[in-house]
Structure 1
């Protein structure tokens, strides 16, 4: 039997992944804006500072496109490119991370299951519909609609409050050390880090405590739930 009364999941890159390529979105923005393309997706990612605002990242993206254009010595309508970027993104173009369906089914067999994502409902709800799992959760928290997002404790507290579960009796599963592992620990939950092929490096983790459980694959989660009482796992 699992020692956890509830399991909460992150969404992006934990349960699902986007099927549109970065190139499709990036160059689609230039096509939409009728602007000759410059740079590459990696140039844009490198030019963006911090995290995008949850609801309207237009100005955030425009600043990035402006910086990319400047490095190439050209002038562009950065605001229109940002609009084209957002118009090109298809939030329904998602598929399950391998093993995620089995992980979700296993969690549901053990008890209440929740979803906690930093995105707003306007972007994330359509992903659940596309995957056919909009009814799979006992609670869904879109932290992008709240005043605080992960890694702050408030979204975790909102989910657990709805479930009536204490933090120490809950497990949070996510792929981000900065947001998922650190956030779960700050809120008092156990964390299962979906690491894939990434190894834990304490020196680069900004003081984040190593999670109790590390998943190389999402379908490792059923074993964690069955054997949690035996102690932490490692890749």
Structure 2
């Protein structure tokens, strides 16, 4: 459905034409963002589970890759990792699992919020375009965030790249979204905050890319180049295409 030769890319700086009938979004730091760091969430999870501070967030970040192959999803991975960290710190495995469950609930239900203007943009675009979501991340985690921010019923398709297909910037997750939306790359726009995964992935799949930087340093010449650049997501209520 992408309308491009396999392995080819589109020049995002070339002049585009043709009607747009679908808009796809990234999730993290595009539509939602965390209000607390992982370390802060872990501190609260320890409190909720009724234990001290037996390990740090760096211990988790340093060790989670060891559980990727054997875990069924991010919830299972975190429970396995935290259980082993708890044992290493002199606690039982169930304590580690309790901390993992508290961490997941706090992180994706209480420490996440909508980016300003996101709901208005979604409402405005939904009146004219079919909407999809292409996000890197585990399905359970990403769908929980969507529920938390109240956007769980706003997208016709949700592709969790890295699980449903290879992670962005691969073209495959975009192709899955196009197929589900019944659209083509020439008629679809993708909105994201990351040059490396969002813009590069959209460009590889032949979609027009809208880059909305998330507040970090902005290069004078973005690489890869997006089709459009906006200062804030709210500007998307008046589409640039």
TM over 0.5: yes
Can you give the 5+ residue segments of structure 1 that lack an aligned partner in the other structure? 67-73, 229-235
Matched, 1:100 2:130: no
Contact 1:48 1:60 in 2 (8 A): no
User: Post-superposition shift, 1:187?
Assistant: 1.0
User: Post-superposition shift, 1:32?
Assistant: 6.5
User: Post-superposition shift, 1:219?
Assistant: 0.2
Matched, 1:170 2:188: yes
Q: 1:46 and 1:83, CA in 2 relative to 1: closer, same or farther beyond 3 A?
A: same
Asked which structure has the greater RCO (Cα within 8 Å, sep 6+), the reply is: 2
**1:16 corresponding residue in structure 2:** 32
User: Post-superposition shift, 1:61?
Assistant: 5.8
Q: 2:200 aligns with which of 177, 182, 187?
A: 182
**1:233 corresponding residue in structure 2:** none
Whole-angstrom distance in 2 between the partners of 1:83 and 1:152: 35
Contact 1:28 1:85 in 2 (8 A): no
Can you give the 5+ residue segments of structure 2 that lack an aligned partner in the other structure? 1-17
Q: 1:222 and 1:87, CA in 2 relative to 1: closer, same or farther beyond 3 A?
A: same
Does the residue aligned with 1:113 lie in a helix, a strand or coil?
Answer: strand
**2:21 corresponding residue in structure 1:** 5
Deviates most, 21-30 or 171-180: 21-30
Whole-angstrom distance in 1 between the partners of 2:142 and 2:51: 29
Whole-angstrom distance in 1 between the partners of 2:172 and 2:116: 30
Whole-angstrom distance in 1 between the partners of 2:26 and 2:194: 9
Q: 1:25 and 1:186, CA in 2 relative to 1: closer, same or farther beyond 3 A?
A: same
Where does 1:193-212 land on structure 2 (aligned, <5 Å)?
A: 193-201=211-219, 208-212=223-227
Q: 1:217 and 1:36, CA in 2 relative to 1: closer, same or farther beyond 3 A?
A: same
Does the residue aligned with 1:92 lie in a helix, a strand or coil?
Answer: helix
User: Post-superposition shift, 1:114?
Assistant: 0.7
User: Post-superposition shift, 1:209?
Assistant: 1.4
Deviations 1:49-87 (A, max 9, x none): 98x95634439966xx79xxxxxxx9677x876872453
Whole-angstrom distance in 1 between the partners of 2:220 and 2:191: 19
Whole-angstrom distance in 2 between the partners of 1:198 and 1:213: 18
User: Post-superposition shift, 1:155?
Assistant: 0.9
**1:217 corresponding residue in structure 2:** 232
**1:128 corresponding residue in structure 2:** 146
User: Post-superposition shift, 1:152?
Assistant: 1.2
Whole-angstrom distance in 1 between the partners of 2:234 and 2:90: 46
Q: 1:116 aligns with which of 125, 134, 137?
A: 134
- CA RMSD in angstroms, aligned pairs only: 3.7
TM norm structure 2:
0.70
Whole-angstrom distance in 1 between the partners of 2:220 and 2:170: 21
**1:71 corresponding residue in structure 2:** none
